Amino acid sequence: MTTEKAKKRFRITDEGPFEVLRILVSILIALAVTFVVLCFVIEGDSIPARLGNAGATFIKLLTYPCKNMFYFGYVLVKMVPLTFAGLATLLYFRTGLFNLSTEGVFYIAGVACTYFAVSEARLTGNPFIDSAICIVAAGLCGGIIALLPGYLKAKFQANEMVISLMMNSILFGIGFWMIKTFLAISGVTGTSSAPFVASARLTTIIPKTQVHSGIIIVLVMVVLVYILLFKTKLGYAIRITGLNQNFARYSGMGAFGLFMSVHFLAGFIGGMGSAVELLGVYQSFTWSQLPGLGFTGALMAMLGKNHPIGVTVAAFGISYLRASAQLLANSSPVIDIKLVSVVEVILTLLISSQYFLRSWREKQLLKEEQCNE
Amino acid sequence: MSDMISSFFTPSFVALVIRVGTPLLFASMSAYVASLAGIPNIAVEGIMLFGALFGVYFSAISGSAWIGLLGVLAVGVVLALVLAFFTMKMKADPIMIGIALNLFATDFSVWLLLVWTGSKGTTANLPSKVLPTVNIPFIENIPIIGTIISGHYFLTYVCIVMAILLAILVYKTPFGLHMQACGLDEHAADSVGIKVNRVRLIAVIMSGIFAALGGAYLSMGYLSIFSNNMTASRGWIGIAAQAVGGGNFLIVTLTTGVFAIAQGIVSKLALTSLPSDLINTIPYVCVLIGLIGLSVKEYRKRRAR
């Protein structure tokens, strides 16, 4: 009886609550460090004045997006590409693949999307179909590109991480060249493409904000990836292979087909994300360097514990701070979207540390044992 | 075009390859020494970027390039310690830590630029100092050899000396053997009394120093300013060279040499009317082909067995 009662009691040292505690402590530490960094660079004559200024700026940073609907909508807009990139990367990570090609896929699939989106001749004029053409084209492009490292990994067991990194640089070079040479406004040598046709762009769904229909697409994708991972045979194979490659092989799961499908799916999701971001936010293709969304996707996957819903939450949290920092950038010389990298790096360092808070937990468990005795 | 090709066989081209190859060799050594000891350092790119930025900053506030260089070393050691602490003490995945540090370096260096200079582009308005170029007496006057060997930046010679020392350390000293043992099997190494964590810590610190020096070379020699994202994937090339060569330092160095030649060809071709974006991908295509060739070869070897 007593043991059953003890089991039901909420304990912070249990697996689930402890994980939540770890994440909360990580967030607190990350924010505290950001505050300290702010204190160092903020203007102020004396130490109290600096602290005050930093405190005010810091609170602004944490609350600004809640001020009105437009700002909050901006958070949602920022969240869309991060979630897409996170979903793509989590498929790799779940399979035990350290593939970082989402960065390059985002770029080249964006070029594929632009190919259709800039020309009325390649579109129908129906907004729904036009957006779909561009998004599917980008997805297919991403999927096919991702098959290259997938094939090398599946067939020759090549080092997929280094290959994917080299591919990022190559895809950027090719993509940028294509944008400049074929997709720019004719006669103009610039670094951006011709403007997107209006019917290809995604529509705004919440009035007076920038929130576009991409947010619906991304939420649908989150559900689909969830179903794929936890309700299908392929998803089971993915999870088992990620846990133990040998077990998967010995139980008769073909590694070749699995790796190829995972790469195609991840590439497809990455490509879709790129198209949705471009058509939702941009007027034309203007990325003159790699957008950095693919690498952030790896962080999202890690912070979200490789779970689709976790990734969504992580993407929301990081987007919240990024959006806030970007909105505040004009009001303060030291606030910039890049400052959020402090939060990102500390969260990643702490959450990926298996031993973070472990000794504390063990002490608590030991104490409990002693009490019980 | 034939002018172009014949220009590849001149002493000045060899000198150019050495110039563009120095940061690549630093990056390769950084990736090599860390992964030899069993902690793959993916953060080479990020550490290089910070090395480049802090070299400029410290030399600008102190007025001395040498103090700037000391600062660079400190930055390299600090970042290496972060990597070592989280991977060894906190049991985090070194790859994840590496990705995080790289992203952090890319973004945070831009933020520091903004705070220090008010612009997100370059440190052109900081009065930073440059490490000297070294003209070797007598040798500089010999026609061909003088052009090739003499007149490089200070850190190029440091790089070459360090590469030789590293080769001696790895292949001729007990410590080198310990590093290899830790990389192959930490438990086996531990069982014969090697202090695995200490060996790895030293290896990772060396890795951090190499990477930071590679960055300093870029902003305190090759160029005299720091500009946004100036490492431009050089760190990744080092990691790729390590992946090709594995534990064999000679192959790592030779592979780096091939990439350096590719990079040298790129800087020559950049002067022509060919599309620069495509030209810039040449070194990465070389790396990619090298990696694919390597994995096909290993695949055949496995199948033959």
Q: How does pLDDT run across A155-213, given as a tens digit for each residue?
A: 888 888 889 988 999 999 999 999 888 888 766 666 788 889 888 888 888 888 889 99
Check A169 against B281: CB less than 8 A apart. Answer: yes
User: CB within 8 A of B101, min separation 6: which ones?
Assistant: A345, B43, B46, B47, B79, B82, B83
Q: Which residues pair with A204 in a beta bridge?
A: A212
Containing structural domain, residue A33? 14-55+336-373
Same domain, A161 and A240: yes
Answer whether residue A62 is part of any domain: no
Quickly state the pLDDT bin for B207 (edges 50, 70, 90): very high
Higher-scoring residue by pLDDT: B137, B239 = B239
A331 touches chain B (CB under 8 A): no
User: CB within 8 A of A242, min separation 6: which ones?
Assistant: A93, A94, A95, A96
A299 touches chain B (CB under 8 A): yes
Same domain, A278 and A361: no
Min CA distance, A294 vs chain B (Å)?
11
Quickly state the pLDDT bin for A9 (edges 50, 70, 90): low
Single out the residue in A246, A280, A303 at which a domain terminates.
Answer: A303
Same domain, A354 and A293: no
Quickly state the pLDDT bin for A333 (edges 50, 70, 90): confident
Helix (H) or strand (E) holding B152, with range, is strand B152-153
CB A266 within 8 A of CB A99: yes
Average pLDDT of the residues of chain B? 90
Taking the C-alpha atoms of residue B291 and residue B241, their distance in angstroms, rounded to an integer, is 9
List domains and CATH numbers for chain B.
2-304 (1.10.3470)
Helix (H) or strand (E) holding B134, with range, is strand B133-134
Answer whether residue A73 is part of any domain: no
The predicted pLDDT at position B166 comes to 96
The predicted pLDDT at position B275 comes to 85
CB A153 within 8 A of CB A257: no
Check B100 against A349: CB less than 8 A apart. Answer: yes
Same domain, A242 and A351: no
Taking the C-alpha atoms of residue B216 and residue B117, their distance in angstroms, rounded to an integer, is 19
Helix (H) or strand (E) holding B257, with range, is helix B249-269
Helix (H) or strand (E) holding B151, with range, is none
Using CB atoms, which residue from B115, B281, B294 is nearest to A174?
B281
Answer whether residue A6 is part of any domain: no
Quickly state the pLDDT bin for A1 (edges 50, 70, 90): very low
User: Amino acid identity, residue B44?
Assistant: V
Same domain, A158 and A230: yes
Check B284 against A169: CB less than 8 A apart. Answer: yes
A342 touches chain B (CB under 8 A): yes
In total, how many domains does chain A have?
Answer: 2
CB B44 within 8 A of CB B30: yes
Residue A106 confidence (pLDDT) above 90: yes
Same domain, A142 and A226: yes
The predicted pLDDT at position A255 comes to 78
**CB < 8 Å to B298, chain A:** 156-157
The predicted pLDDT at position A2 comes to 46
Higher-scoring residue by pLDDT: A217, A353 = A217
Taking the C-alpha atoms of residue B49 and residue B102, their distance in angstroms, rounded to an integer, is 9
CB contacts under 8 A, B 162-221 vs A, are none
Quickly state the pLDDT bin for A253 (edges 50, 70, 90): low
Answer whether residue A122 is part of any domain: yes
Residue B180 confidence (pLDDT) above 90: yes
Same domain, A265 and A369: no
The whole-number average pLDDT for the span B154-170 is: 95
Buried b (16+ CB within 10 A) or exposed e, B174-212: eebebbbbbbeebeebeeeebebeebbbbbbbbbbbbbb
Same domain, A203 and A275: yes
The whole-number average pLDDT for the span A238-245 is: 84
User: Amino acid identity, residue B95?
Assistant: I
Check B288 against A174: CB less than 8 A apart. Answer: no
Of A231, A211, A227, nearest in space to A308 by CA: A227
Tell me whether 0.90 is exceeded by the ipTM: no
Residue A6 confidence (pLDDT) above 70: no
- What is the model's pTM? 0.91
Same domain, A194 and A257: yes
The predicted pLDDT at position B12 comes to 85
Size of interface A-B (CB pairs under 8 A): 148
Residue A5 confidence (pLDDT) above 60: no
Min CA distance, B276 vs chain A (Å)?
8
The predicted pLDDT at position A206 comes to 85
Closest CA in chain B for residue A41 = B115
The predicted pLDDT at position A189 comes to 63
